[in-house]
Amino acid sequence: MNHLSLSELCCLFCCPPCPSKIASKLAFLPPEPTYSLMCDESGGRWTLHLSERADWQYSAREKEAIECFMTRTSRGNRIACMFVRCSPSARYTLLFSHGNAVDLGQMSSFYIGLGSRINCNVFSYDYSGYGASSGKPSEKNLYADVDAAWQALRSRVFPSSAWVSGR
């Protein structure tokens, strides 16, 4: 499961520190990172480097449609964000929260395919403790992560757009 030994499992359930720590150990399963982000000298542009385990299925041209950057959460962690411009005519951008046992590197090919099929761009992020993101996976960090991703999408990807709720 989460590579817990028998003694760790006994300690976890026989003398639990608190329910949120139990949930964190069982619910969050970050994989070994399948990518890295390298910042240029100016500190403004990030380059995505995928490992073999990321299983990239497209050409370098599609990879150029991916913009990555880091943003800070309200809990002080830095999370990796990925904006995939799948179609120049896309009117919508999907904010995608991936599953608990993958990272952005593993999902990048999926995002290209998804966005191309439904004609939208895709914005995603890694949770604290996943991929290139700092911190540890926890429920509280998860809420801060999605809030930071939403704010980054609104302010960095679409800084001048008018946002209208309920449409």
In tens, the pLDDT along 30-53 reads 999 999 999 988 877 899 999 999
Residue 166 forms part of a structural domain = no
Length of the chain: 167
Higher pLDDT, 78 or 1: 78
pLDDT above 50 (res 134): yes
How does the average pLDDT of the chain come out, rounded? 87
pTM of the model: 0.82
Residue 164 forms part of a structural domain = no
- Partners of residue 41 on adjacent β-strands: none
Q: What is the residue range of 47's domain?
A: 32-157
Residue 4 forms part of a structural domain = no
Residue 161: pLDDT band (50, 70, 90) is low
pLDDT above 90 (res 20): no
Residue 38 forms part of a structural domain = yes
Q: Which two tokens stand for residue 31?
A: 């994989």
Residue 136 forms part of a structural domain = yes
Residue 53 forms part of a structural domain = yes
Residue 37 forms part of a structural domain = yes
Which residues, at least 6 apart from 76, have a Cβ–Cβ distance to it below 8 Å?
Answer: 135
pLDDT at 88: 85
CATH number at residue 74: 3.40.50.1820
Which residues, at least 6 apart from 79, have a Cβ–Cβ distance to it below 8 Å?
Answer: 70, 71, 72, 73, 125, 126, 127, 128, 133, 134, 135, 145, 148, 149
Compute the distance between CA of residue 139 and CA of residue 47 in angstroms, rounded to an integer: 29
Residue 65 forms part of a structural domain = yes
Taking only the tens place, the pLDDT of each residue in 95-133 is 999 998 999 999 999 999 999 999 999 999 999 999 999
Q: Biggest alpha carbon distance in the chain? A: 56
Domain count, the chain: 1
